[in-house]
Amino acid sequence: MAAEVDIKSIPIIDVGALRGEDFVSKKEIARQIGEACKNIGFFYITNHGISTDLRDRLFHEGKRFFRLPVEQKNQIAMTKSRVFRGYFEVGGELTSNRPDVKEGLYFCTELNDSHPAVIAKKPVRYAFGKQ
């Protein structure tokens, strides 16, 4: 079982520079994120550019989805996906080769069948912009 973490010790990382051109700043943000993931497992981000309205809607929809009966959520189970997307129950994902203690939903922009990543049969694919 993981140790408890004091919420005040969770790092707050300003990611605003990721939208800019300064490679040194981007590298520093990556270092901070890596350190937070290794040492704490969590981090907060600021200056991300996501509107309060969009964030509130996402939280609302997330709560609505996870309150559904498991049978309904399993209609889009990750085990049914050829591209590692969909819902998984508590214990349905492994972390360090052990069942995790969270349920989740993976989704992302889908790639068309002619995309090089699809042709290469990469199990996890993310696309930004044009496919």
7, 14 contact by CB (below 8 A) = no
Q: What pTM, to 2 d.p., does this model score?
A: 0.63
Per-residue model confidence as pLDDT tens digits over 100-122 = 888 999 887 777 788 887 788 77
Per-residue confidence band for 8, with pLDDT thresholds at 50, 70 and 90? confident
Domain boundaries of the chain, sorted by first residue = 1-49, 52-131
pLDDT of residue 25: 96
pLDDT digits (tens, 9 = 90+) for 19-55: 999 999 999 999 999 999 998 888 999 999 999 999 9
CA distances from 49 to 99, 126, 127 (A): 34, 20, 19
pLDDT surpassing 80 at residue 1: no
